[in-house]
Amino acid sequence: MIGTVLDAILMLLLVSAIAYGVRLDRRLKAVKEGQAAFAGAIAELNTAAGRAESALKTLRDAGQETDLLHDRIVKARALKQELEALIAREGREIRTAVAARPEPVADEAPRAAAPSDLFEKVESLAVAPGVKPEAVDRFAPVLQALAANHAAKQSLNRARRSLDEDLFAA
């Protein structure tokens, strides 16, 4: 009889151990699923961090290019002021050279001076009759400044297009 009671108690303990094992197994499965989801979240976070790092590098490069363009613009403005001073000083000689040129035909319509037209006009004034060679040497910075201004505008436009493309690509 004691053997039967002990067998019954042992069976109850075994059944409770099995039930506890099943419950523990379910909890372990939930932990493993949570661990897998956590590993996926970490992988996504690493990918996002990589994209953010590359975006920061692109932004830093664009900032450096912007600084270079700003320096060029500042130099171009300083050159423009210097050229304006040169032109003001040589104004009298330019006026006499223009006065020596023949009058335009009456049916020609006046038009706005494009940068290329201005460049050509300054070049033609440099070789106009009655202009001193010293004045021609003073025109060289004007021509260089016009070319530098045009190059700076083109570079700035390229940089703006590049920044717009990068901005809209993201």
Mean pLDDT of successive 10-residue segments in the chain (170 residues)? Answer: 91 95 95 93 94 91 87 87 78 61 51 57 64 69 74 80 71
- pLDDT given at position 31: 94
Nearest alpha carbon to residue 126 among 148, 97, 150, 167: 97
Residue 4 counted as domain residue: no
Cα separation of 124 and 101, whole Å? 10
- pLDDT given at position 169: 67
Give residue 95's domain range.
Answer: 66-100+114-169
Cα separation of 113 and 124, whole Å? 14
- pLDDT given at position 70: 87
Residue 29 counted as domain residue: no
8 A C-beta contact, residue 101 and residue 126: no
8 A C-beta contact, residue 76 and residue 149: yes
What phi and psi values does residue 59 have, to the nearest 5 degrees?
Answer: -65, -40
pTM flag (> 0.85):
no
Structural domain count of the chain = 1
**Rg value, the chain, Cα:** 41
C-alpha count within 13 angstroms, C-beta hemisphere, residue 87: 12
Cα separation of 143 and 64, whole Å? 29
- pLDDT given at position 34: 92
- pLDDT given at position 112: 47
Residue 19 counted as domain residue: no
- pLDDT given at position 24: 96
- Contacts of residue 72, defined as CB under 8 A and 6 or more positions apart, other chains included, come to 152, 155
The residue written with tokens 């304006």 in the block is 84
